Structure 1
Amino acid sequence: MRGLTGISAIASDVLGVRLNPYIPYNFLVELDGLVTGGFMEVFGLESEIKLESYEEGGQNDYVHQFPTRTTYPNLVLSKGLTDAWTLWSWYDDACHGKICRRNGTIMLLDHQRLPVRWWNFRDAYPVKWTGPQFNSSAQDIAVEKIELVHRGITIPIASKGLRRANQLDRLETS
């Protein structure tokens, strides 16, 4: 074992730390406690601290950067179009002034479909719905997208310790 491969193997065996990245296609989306699986893509899982620049007189080597606020772009959830009208109904209600804010979770799963990390978003409601694109020569499935505005993303402390707990569970049952 040489280099990074050896370090990865030692860290994995001794420390129980995974150094290989997870695969991003294995995930679930939950809204208000209900797993609304079948999503194909999730975009907008981001957070940015906005900065204010201050140029101090006589200080020419650098510009001060002060944090002001944290911003979050809209989340965009894409899924195959089915007979379920849940997303459309939620969006349609918002169009008619009936705003129903929902909390949600995006869960990353390992190869055994166990959650290894998750991100919570809060007070989300739909602001855009996109229906399928039609093309008579296409072989793809029909896809709908819903765009959600929300009030922030957090990673719960339980998410940070879950992977280690799963590893210990597997060791005890082996």
Structure 2
Amino acid sequence: MDFLGPLPSFNFYISLIDEGASDFSKVLSVASDFLLAGFSECTGLESEVQIEDYRAGGKNDRVFRFPTRANYTNISLSRGIGFSEDLYLWHEGFLKGEGKRKNGMIYLANETRVPIKCWTFENGIPVKWSGPSLNATSSTLAIEKLEIAHEKLTLTFSPGMGAAALAGAIGF
């Protein structure tokens, strides 16, 4: 395997963790979601730094640009509908005013399914759930989608990071 080549995007895992979970609960949640989570698509691993322009008097040859706030795109998860209602129930909790935020971990794995990179998002809220398009003349899979707004996205593990950085990033 070439460690310097690009990784394929089809091997990934996702774990959703209750915001107030203990470290032990986090480990159990990650371990169980490695076995149970089945998403066919994950988009929205994006962040950007907003810029503020400043036009200084007497400096007509330039505009000074300063970084201000970070901005994160919503994460969108898609999967074939099965018997589990966990994503819908999480969203429905917020519709009823009883929802709980979740943190999440998104892992990109190599061809042997070993995690190579990990991103974490914090304080996720399921802002949109979409059920399948139903059509009796089509034989496509029934897909549900969940869009998650969150407060922060961090690359918490990568081959270039040490074990101490990983442990500190996920709170162990």
Using the TM superposition, give the Cα deviation of residue 163 of structure 1 relative to its aligned residue in structure 2, in angstroms.
Answer: 8.8
Structure 1's 20 and 127: CA in aligned 2 closer, same or farther, altered over 3 A? same
Q: Find out whether 1:26 has 2:31 as its counterpart.
A: no
Cα distance between partner residues in 2 of 1:69 and 1:50: 5
The Cα shift of 1:136 comes to 2.6
User: How far apart are the structure 2 equivalents of 1:135 and 1:129?
Assistant: 19
Q: Give the structure with higher Rg (CA).
A: 1
Spell out structure 1 runs of 4+ moving beyond 4 A: 162-165
Distance 1:134 1:121 in 2: 32
- Partner of residue 168, structure 2: none
State the one-letter code of the partner of 2:14: V
Q: Which amino acid aligns with 1:29?
A: I
Q: Which residue of 2 aligns with 1:81?
A: 81
Task: Give the TM-score normalised by the residue count of structure 2.
Answer: 0.79
* Corresponding position: 1:113 with 2:134: no
Q: CA deviation at 1:161?
A: 3.8
Aligned AA for 2:16? Answer: L
CA distance in 2 between counterparts of 1:96 and 1:59 reads 55
Give the drift of 1:39: 0.4
Deviation (angstroms), 1:164? 8.9
Q: Which residue of 2 aligns with 1:160?
A: 158
Q: Deviations over 1:20-79 (max 9, x none)?
A: 100001101111124152101111110010010011222232211111110111111111
Judge conservation of contact 2:92–2:99 (CA < 8 Å) in 1: no
1:24 corresponds to which letter in structure 2? S
Provide the residue aligned with 2:126 in structure 1.
126
Deviation at 1:162, TM superposition (A): 7.6
Aligned-partner Cα distance in 2 for 1:163–1:49: 23
Q: Which runs of 5+ in 1 are unaligned?
A: 1-8, 13-17, 166-174
1 or 2, which has the higher helix percentage?
1
Provide the secondary structure at the position in 1 that maps to 2:89: helix
TM-score by length of 1: 0.78
Q: How many residues align?
A: 148
Q: CA deviation at 1:125?
A: 1.6
Give distance in 2, aligned partners of 1:164 and 1:64.
36
Matching residue of 2:69? 69
Structure 1 vs Structure 2: percent identity of aligned residues? Answer: 37
Q: Does the CA contact (< 8 Å) of 2:56 and 2:64 recur in 1?
A: yes
1:137 maps to 2:122: no
What SS does the aligned partner of 1:120 have? strand
* Alignment-derived partner of residue 94 in structure 2: 94
1:117 touches 1:162 (CA, 8 Å); kept in 2? Answer: no
